[in-house]
Amino acid sequence: MDILTGGSLLCGELSVPASKSCAHRALICAALADGNSVISGVTMSKDIEATIGAMTALGASFSVEGDRIAAKGIAAVPSEADIDCCESGSTLRFVLPVAAALGADSVFSGRGRLPQRPIDIYFRELGKNGVTFVTSSMPYRLSGRLNGGRYEIEGNVSSQFVTGLLFALPLLEEDSEIVLTSHLESRPYVDITLDMLRRYGITVDETQNGFHIPGGQKYTPHDETIEGDYSQAAFYFVANALGSDVRINNLLADSVQGDRRIADIVKESCSSGSVGCFRADCSDIPDLVPALAVLAAFGSDESVIYNAERLRIKESDRLSTTAAMLNALGGDVSVTADGLIIRPTGNMHGGTVDSAGDHRIAMAAAIAATRIADGVTIKGAEAVEKSYPDFFRDYTYLGGKANVIVLE
């Protein structure tokens, strides 16, 4: 689906989607709890549907009514589970060790760029602790039951491996230890995990170089309301910096979400009343990069985004696709080894951009278009369904122009 956007600032009040990071984690915890839980305020998306499907395949059950999900924890683990992760890297990396801890022989499939996203850490560490990978490429087939013990994890690949183990290891009889062999990037995402585990009755002890996880624990049912997602709100923070007036009513000021830093970055870069420039270390906030790049493209001087090399293995090579999107609209963006250099041209104009199947590229392009009078055509705009299915509905509700010109 191609959508023509542009030429209109946004104005109004809305609720952004619920935090996808929090929702994934709450759904998994509720599925592992012995009893019934209710998770409210959930925004359904392709990724959330994938996690619901994965935990259903492992024996949990869910009833969805609007934004409310009633979850019944796993009573009996199936001997075999067929788990379709769709394009959700979170689902794959969170649920794979859980399935191994439950002892279910499992097949994990997926599509898009998901088969290219690395899980070598799991091959190595789960393989040393009772799990056999029958295949080394997707669909991944694994058998055996996970054992407690020592897990050595590189912290600079993806925090999702740490989160997956934090979900799984409390289920084992033995105590376990996660030892970080390098600096843990995206630490705020692990903080979200630890916070959610605590809410569902799980204890994790932080050590000097990792985490100690007591075995023999049980998840307890808990009713949870999911807060608004700062990674989605980031697009509106940037829109406001570019002249829009969007008020968001469901963000927590004291959220543990790392992406709440968007508020500070925008405030600091616009301290003079107009967009200036900035240097952003995005090792802990990689999801903000497309929105930040749009902000920088309308700035007064060169901005630099760095420590974001892991974006190359997202739904797209997000460094390259962010640069290509802005350059197609008159920008001057260079890709570096670990980020982007954005040089404002003062000549942003209409054009055609390709979402590359990446939800964040599509949304970033739409926000850039609010300052481009002659319109931006976004190819593959349906990519927003992955995390924010109602993005273009909200965009037009706020006064933005978004017309479908090709429906596929």
- Catalytic residue set: 287
- CA pair distance 309, 36, nearest whole angstrom: 41
- Nearest C-alpha neighbor of 265 from the set 232, 246, 293: 293
The CA distance from 71 to 68, in Å, is 10
Residue environment code for 64-90, b if the CB has 16+ CB neighbours within 10 A, otherwise e = eeeeebbbbbbeeebeebebbbbbbbb
* Helix (H) / strand (E) containing 25: helix 20-32
Q: What share of the chain is helix, strand, coil (3-state, %, to 5)?
A: 35, 20, 40
Residue spans of alpha helices (H) in 147-211 = 159-168, 187-199
346 Cβ contact partners less than 8 Å away, ≥ 6 residues apart: none
Residue 310 and residue 286 in contact, taking contact as beta carbons nearer than 8 Å: yes
Contact 179, 208 (CB under 8 A): no
State the Cα angle at 273 between 269 and 276, rounded to 5°. 35
Residue with structure tokens 């010109």? 405
CB distance 209 to 9 below 8 Å: no
| 3-state secondary structure (DSSP) of residue 345 | coil
